[in-house]
Chain A
Amino acid sequence: MGIEVKKSKIEVVSAPTGHEGPGFFATSLDKAVGMARKNSLWPLPFATSCCGIEFMATMASHYDLGRFGAERLSFSPRQADLLMVMGTIAKKMGPVLRQVYEQMAEPKWVLSMGACASSGGIFDTYSVLQGIDRIIPVDVYIPGCPPRPEQVLDGILQIQKLAASESIRRRDTPEYKEMLAKYGLE
């Protein structure tokens, strides 16, 4: 029986632009590192409520976040690149979230999933933090209550864009320091 060879649908990430000649390829370090960072994000799922269940759906076989290189969940903040805040953050939880953010090593990105994490959502109450951007800086917001897994994937792709174009030592820039100072972080 002859085996029919199907054309693979897998797309390998293309190399960054650079100068190529016989036996060498030169590009800027920024681009090479950006490419590596982009395609191997280690997310820390900070799942508190409903959005966490949609995140489970995103991770499961149907939507399969692993296709985007973000398969390896890091439950330790010290090894994570991406803090995914999913669900309502109550005022009681606020300090915990901030501590987790502080424990993460640079470079780090924050993704706020769902209306509750982004703005407090329908819970404008005495006990709920009205958006996590009151205590930590956020890179990408995903709207929805809860967002569909496709939206989560889109959010991750947005983070990937940021990761690819970021300079290697972002934390040394004065803008970044100023931004952190606004949140009382360093």
Chain B
Amino acid sequence: MENTLLDSIHNRLKEKFGAGILAAEQQRDFPVFTVGRDVIHDVLKFLRDDNDLAFGFLTTMCGLNYPDNKGKELGVMYQLHNLHKNERVRLKTFFPVNDPKVPTATDLYASANWMERQEYDFFGIIFTGHPNLKRILNMDEMTYHPMRKEYPLEDGTREDKDNTMFGR
């Protein structure tokens, strides 16, 4: 049953966007689509507004960072929910780290506002068209985007932690 959901959405998306849909796969109970950055906003809009699909609820959104995927280091994951039929779908889009731009979804979902600010804060992903794109959780003075894999977790100011004893 799950796979028919994947196929039916995939067919609708392919029909509409063609080559913009880069991949479709089933991850456990989720149909997952990888979408090109240039069409992501249209795909979201289509999924929301289409009477049949009607994914009207943005469950969550998060940034992704795969430092080894050259040219696709950063990404965004969107998770949509059709509350009437209880269907969920996950969308992903990837882009290079030196051009971290993706169109905003704030015009489609009001809830995207802070989620996008958070991912900007964490990963430095610039959501073009966002009304108020500034840091949300960290201090404004922070100079880097801490969730990227290259930055350390630790604060670095503590002297009482001995690395020879712990495998950090």
Q: Could you tell me which A residues sit within 8 Å of B by CB distance?
A: 91-92, 120, 124-128, 130
- Closest Cβ–Cβ distance, residue B151 to chain A (whole Å): 8
- Interface-facing stretch out of B34-42, B70-78, B152-160: B152-160
Tell me which residues from 122 to 168 in chain B have a Cβ below 8 Å from any Cβ of chain A: 137-139, 146, 151-155, 157-158, 161
Q: Once the chains bind, are B154 and A125 in contact (CB under 8 Å)?
A: yes
* Chain A at the B interface: SS class: loop
- Closest Cβ–Cβ distance, residue B124 to chain A (whole Å): 15
Using Cβ atoms and an 8 Å threshold, which residues of chain B touch A128?
155
- Closest Cβ–Cβ distance, residue A84 to chain B (whole Å): 24
* Chain B at the A interface: SS class: loop
Q: Once the chains bind, are A125 and B155 in contact (CB under 8 Å)?
A: yes
A–B complex contacts, Cβ < 8 Å, 10 sampled = A91-B139, A124-B153, A125-B155, A126-B146, A126-B151, A126-B152, A126-B153, A126-B155, A127-B146, A128-B155
Q: Once the chains bind, are B154 and A127 in contact (CB under 8 Å)?
A: no
Q: Could you tell me which B residues sit within 8 Å of A by CB distance?
A: 137-139, 146, 151-155, 157-158, 161
Q: Once the chains bind, are A126 and B154 in contact (CB under 8 Å)?
A: yes
Using Cβ atoms and an 8 Å threshold, which residues of chain A touch B151?
126
Identity of the chain B residue whose Cβ is nearest the Cβ of A94 in the assembled complex: B139
Using Cβ atoms and an 8 Å threshold, which residues of chain B touch A125?
153-155
Q: How far is the CA of A130 from the CA of B146 in the complex (A)?
A: 17
Q: Once the chains bind, are A124 and B146 in contact (CB under 8 Å)?
A: no
Beyond A125-B154, A126-B153, A130-B158, list 13 extra A-B contacts (CB 8 Å): A91-B139, A92-B138, A120-B158, A124-B155, A124-B158, A126-B146, A126-B151, A126-B152, A126-B154, A126-B155, A127-B137, A128-B155, A130-B155
Most chain B Cβ neighbours within 10 Å, of A91, A124, A126, A127: A126
Q: How far is the CA of A184 from the CA of B154 in the complex (A)?
A: 26
> Closest 8 interchain pairs by CB?
A92-B139, A126-B146, A124-B154, A130-B158, A126-B155, A125-B153, A130-B155, A124-B155
- Closest Cβ–Cβ distance, residue B166 to chain A (whole Å): 11
Identity of the chain A residue whose Cβ is nearest the Cβ of B156 in the assembled complex: A126
Q: How far is the CA of A125 from the CA of B158 in the complex (A)?
A: 10
Using Cβ atoms and an 8 Å threshold, which residues of chain B touch A92?
138-139
- Closest Cβ–Cβ distance, residue B58 to chain A (whole Å): 26
